[in-house]
Amino acid sequence: MQWKVCPLFSGSKGNATLVQAGDTAVLVDAGVSARRLEGALKQQGVEPGQLRAVLVTHEHSDHISGLNIFAERYALKVYANEQTWKAMNGQMNRLTAVQRIVVEPDTDFFIGGLNVETYATPHDSACSQGYGFYAGGRRAAVVTDLGHMPKGLLERLCGCETLVLECNHDEEMLREGPYPAYLKTRILGRNGHLSNAACGNALRVLINRGARQIALAHLSQENNTPLLARQTVDHILAADDILPGRDIRMLTGRQDEAAGILTME
């Protein structure tokens, strides 16, 4: 079975990740305009109407800003948990009842041949969740927008070969940067965003437990750079003699274009 995991847009300005296993393709989040989603999907050889679902992590606008129009245009089913649906309520007026599917955190279900599971993530939204995917004996997961990596979630991600994991900010850059104090506290908090170092520490465990392809995701525009994210993560991994490029494949998500494609067979 051919897999393709592709962060089409990744960062604080908008997020959408394509996950395709065999003939089942889904999108995790739709945080850029429908027009941009259409263009990015077509570049990957996927017609938007081919998608089986859009899986929503949470209601923040960088994850849903294109969703209402995009899902209406292609009559796509949209999956989110009950609390996220409530939080999105006023913004999803184009969706019919049939398109609204409720999936609670820490459950699993099938979309076509793809077994999908949900992970509760600690974030300051109504009820954010990440998504895991199983098919043909392979596993992938998309986990962003989490203030820290809970031990239970880390354990659940063990054995996952392909990972899209948040690598949001450099703590020092954030502390010394221009953001107001309340926002700094929010981002650095337990329900904020995952720092480069926290991402590196999680990856160190996960690579030792089977992760082979990683996309660093949801990089902050103001409080991070792709270079800094990689340097921090690489430095942490070096403690276990893990060298990206030699031992694992690593991509860095981009705000405005696809970061590359993680494939499995």
Q: How many residues does the chain have?
A: 265
- The stretch near Zn ion (CB under 5 A) out of 37-45, 58-66, 96-104, 174-182 is 58-66
59 touches Zn ion by CB under 5 A: no
- The stretch near Zn ion (CB under 5 A) out of 67-75, 113-121, 138-146, 230-238 is 138-146
Phi/psi at 24 (nearest 5 deg)? -105, 120
Amino acid (1-letter code) at residue 68? N
**Kind of pairing between the strands at 162-166 and 213-217:** parallel
Min. distance of Cβ 188 from Zn ion in angstroms?
14
- The stretch near Zn ion (CB under 5 A) out of 75-83, 141-149, 182-190, 243-251 is 141-149
For residues 180 and 243, what is the distance between their CA atoms, to the nearest angstrom?
37
Could you identify the residue written with the tokens 């929503």? 56
Of the pair 59, 117, the CB lying nearest Zn ion is at 59
Of the pair 60, 148, the CB lying nearest Zn ion is at 60
For residues 178 and 184, what is the distance between their CA atoms, to the nearest angstrom?
9
Q: How far is CA 11 from the centre of its chain?
A: 10
- The stretch near Zn ion (CB under 5 A) out of 55-63, 106-114, 133-141, 234-242 is 55-63
The two three-digit tokens of residue 84, written as one number: 């996220």
- HSE, side-chain direction, 13 A CA sphere, residue 188: 16
For residues 27 and 41, what is the distance between their CA atoms, to the nearest angstrom?
10
Of the pair 38, 62, the CB lying nearest Zn ion is at 62
Min. distance of Cβ 59 from Zn ion in angstroms?
8
SS3 178: coil
The 8-class DSSP code of residue 244 comes to: B
Q: Which of 38, 117, 145, 166 binds Zn ion (CB under 5 A)?
A: 145
Of the pair 200, 253, the CB lying nearest Zn ion is at 253
Q: Which of 59, 62, 117, 170 binds Zn ion (CB under 5 A)?
A: 62
For residues 69 and 75, what is the distance between their CA atoms, to the nearest angstrom?
10
Q: Which of 4, 36, 52, 60 binds Zn ion (CB under 5 A)?
A: 60
Site of interaction with Zn ion (CB under 5 A): 60, 62, 145
